[in-house]
Structure 1
Amino acid sequence: MQKSYLICYDIRDAKRLSRVHKVVIHYGVPLQFSVYYSLLEQHTLTEMVEKLIAIINDKEDDIRIYPIQGTTLENWPKPGFSGSDKYLLIN
């Protein structure tokens, strides 16, 4: 079953930042710089986390993944929504 997550990171090194971005963009939709929305199965979340752990320096970098309860995009776009990107707004 897919669940919604908010993924946020603060990476101190530019090279690691680029590598982390390349991983997270594969799994999520950017909301702001270093903040992403993602709809993932548990095994996919685990896969992403393992890739991120291999990249970061745990003494300098910070990655946080927050589960979002009761939020889904399966009913987007809602009636009256005029945007073309269903990820523009999250209920």
Structure 2
Amino acid sequence: MRHRYLVCYDIADPKRLRLVYRKMHGFGDAIQYSVFKCDLSAAERVLLIGALREIINLRQDRVMIVRLGSIDEPAEQRVEFLGPPLAPWIRPAAVVIG
């Protein structure tokens, strides 16, 4: 069974922050700066935690993982935004001519 998670992080070092951000894109969608929505199985959750532990400094950085429930439940109704939500990050296409 897959569950929806809200993953929020506060990373002290800019290099680790970039690494965490890139890693998170493999597991979910950015919904705010340093906040991701992830639909994960139990095994994927373990992989995510392991991947983050390899990057973060446990004395300086913090990651919060909140289980919002089954992906079959309307979790969006349990989350409120004040102000405009962050637009999804879309990488522009680039054409390289060699």
**Does the alignment reach a TM-score above 0.5?**
yes
Aligned length: 77
Instruction: Spell out the pairing of 1:1-91 with structure 2 (5 A cutoff).
Output: 1-69=1-69, 72=71, 90-91=76-77
1:73–1:90 contact (8 Å) kept in structure 2: no
Question: What is the Cα deviation at residue 25 of structure 1?
Answer: 1.3
Quote the RMSD (CA, aligned, Å): 2.0
Following superposition, which runs of at least 4 residues in structure 1 exceed 4 angstroms of deviation? Answer: none
Match in the other structure for 1:82 = none
Alpha-carbon distance between aligned partners in 2 of 1:69 and 1:42, rounded to the nearest angstrom: 12
**TM-score normalised per structure 2:** 0.71
**TM-score normalised per structure 1:** 0.77
> Residue 49 of structure 2 aligns to which amino acid in structure 1?
V
Alpha-carbon distance between aligned partners in 2 of 1:74 and 1:4, rounded to the nearest angstrom: 9
Alpha-carbon distance between aligned partners in 1 of 2:30 and 2:73, rounded to the nearest angstrom: 18
Task: Quote the sequence identity (%).
Answer: 31
Q: 3-state SS of the aligned residue for 2:52? A: helix
Going from structure 1 to structure 2, the CA distance change for 1:68 and 1:74 (only over 3 Å counts) comes to closer
List runs of 5+ in structure 1 lacking aligned partners.
Answer: 76-88
List runs of 5+ in structure 2 lacking aligned partners.
Answer: 78-98
